[in-house]
Amino acid sequence: MRIMIVALVSLLAVVLLGCNEKPDDELAKVSISIGAKFNKVNTDFFKEYTDEESLTLFQQAIATTVKNEGVVNMASPEYDVQIVDKAGNKYGYHLWLGDKGQNSSLMHVEDTHTIYTISKEFTEKLAALVHS
Alpha carbon 57 to chain centroid, angstroms: 12
Domain CATH code at residue 47: 2.60.40.4400
Strands of 104-108's sheet, edge to edge? 47-49, 27-34, 79-85, 90-96, 104-108, 114-118, 66-69
pLDDT for residue 26 = 87
Once rounded to an integer, what is the mean pLDDT over residues 49-60?
94
pLDDT at 19 over 50: no
Mean pLDDT of the chain: 82
Range of the domain at 28: 23-130
Count: domains in the chain: 1
DSSP 117: E
Residue at 8 is within a domain: no
Question: Band of the pLDDT at 25, cuts 50, 70, 90?
Answer: low
pLDDT at 4 over 50: no
Residue at 2 is within a domain: no
Alpha helices in 41-80 (DSSP H): 52-63
User: Has this prediction a pTM greater than 0.85?
Assistant: no
pLDDT at 122 over 80: yes
